[in-house]
């Protein structure tokens, strides 16, 4: 072995626990060792696992972050639900005043009314006076952009 490269070994090093104040002797390269928790006071070793050591409010901060995250998820879900609401007025689709007026005269004031009419196929909307193919294409595009599912009967192309 090479001389003078090894640290000094203390056979009677003192270990001190900061939490409970327990001390004991052990061998170490340091004369004194300070620990935050020892086997005398740690919940895992004492059988009191339900007791959580809350240093500097870490547990409270964790629960606050968890609650903020849950609130954010709930808010996003509410926005998604409101986006595809069947009670949304036709004016929110921004189809143009002429098309909106034609649909209002036909008694189609909400997206739910339009989707119900589309259950019978695209021809059901094309029968409305003043509502043409261009308006139908724009309507379907706007509905898809908002996340609505177009009925299968309306997806068929008839010439």
- DSSP 8-class letter at 97: H
pLDDT band at 85 (very low <50, low <70, confident <90, very high): confident
Distance CA 137, CA 140 (A): 5
* Tokens coding 134: 């261009």
Query: What is the pLDDT confidence band of residue 157, given thresholds at 50, 70 and 90?
Result: low
Place of tokens 């689709």: 93
Q: How many helices (H) and strands (E) does the chain have?
A: 7, 3
Give the Cα separation of 55 and 147 in Å (integer).
Answer: 47
Mean pLDDT value across residues 1-10: 86
Q: How confident is the model at residue 158 (pLDDT cuts 50, 70, 90)?
A: low
Beta bridge partners of 15: 24, 33
pLDDT for 26: 94
Dist CA 51 CA 87 (whole Å): 50
- 118 lies in some domain: yes
Query: What average pLDDT does the structure give for the chain?
Result: 85
* pLDDT class of 34 with cuts at 50, 70, 90: very high
Angle, alpha carbons 101-106-108 (nearest 5°): 80
Q: What percent of the chain has pLDDT over 90?
A: 28
| 132 inside domain | yes
1 is a domain residue: no
Residue 70, pLDDT score: 94
Confirm whether 84 is domain-assigned: no
Least Cα distance to 116 among 93, 96, 90, 79 occurs for: 90
> Is a pLDDT exceeding 90 seen at residue 121?
no
CA 159 to chain centroid: 45
- Residue 139 belongs to some domain of the structure: yes
- Residue 95: which domain range? 90-147
Write the CA distances from 142 to 91, 95, 130, 149, integer angstroms: 11, 8, 19, 11
Q: How many independent structural domains does the chain possess?
A: 2
User: What's this model's pTM, rounded to 2 decimal places?
Assistant: 0.49
Give me the pLDDT at residue 159, please: 52
Determine, yes or no, domain membership for 75.
no
Query: How many Å separate Cα 109 from the centre of its chain?
Result: 33
Is residue 55 within 8 A of residue 72, CB to CB? The reply is no
> pLDDT band at residue 30, thresholds of 50, 70 and 90?
very high
Q: Is 61 part of a structural domain of the chain?
A: no
Contact indicator for 41, 17 with CB cutoff of 8 Å: yes
pLDDT for 40-64, tens place per residue? 887 766 666 555 555 667 778 888 9
Q: Is 79 inside a domain boundary?
A: no
């Amino acid at each position: 072995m090479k001389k003078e490269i090894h640290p000094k070994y203390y056979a009677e090093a003192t270990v001190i626990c900061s939490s409970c104040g327990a001390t004991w002797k052990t061998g170490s390269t340091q004369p004194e060792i300070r620990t935050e928790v020892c086997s005398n006071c740690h919940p895992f070793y004492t059988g009191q696992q339900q007791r959580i050591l809350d240093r500097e409010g870490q547990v409270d901060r964790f629960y606050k972050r968890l609650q903020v995250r849950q609130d954010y998820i709930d808010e996003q879900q509410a926005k998604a639900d409101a986006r595809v609401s069947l009670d949304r007025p036709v004016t929110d689709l921004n189809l143009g005043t002429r098309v909106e007026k034609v649909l209002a005269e036909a008694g189609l004031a909400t997206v739910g009314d339009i989707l119900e009419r589309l259950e019978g196929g695209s021809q059901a909307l094309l029968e409305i006076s003043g509502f043409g193919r261009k308006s139908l294409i724009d309507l379907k595009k706007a509905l898809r952009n908002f996340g609505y599912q177009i009925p299968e009967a309306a997806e068929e192309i008839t010439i």
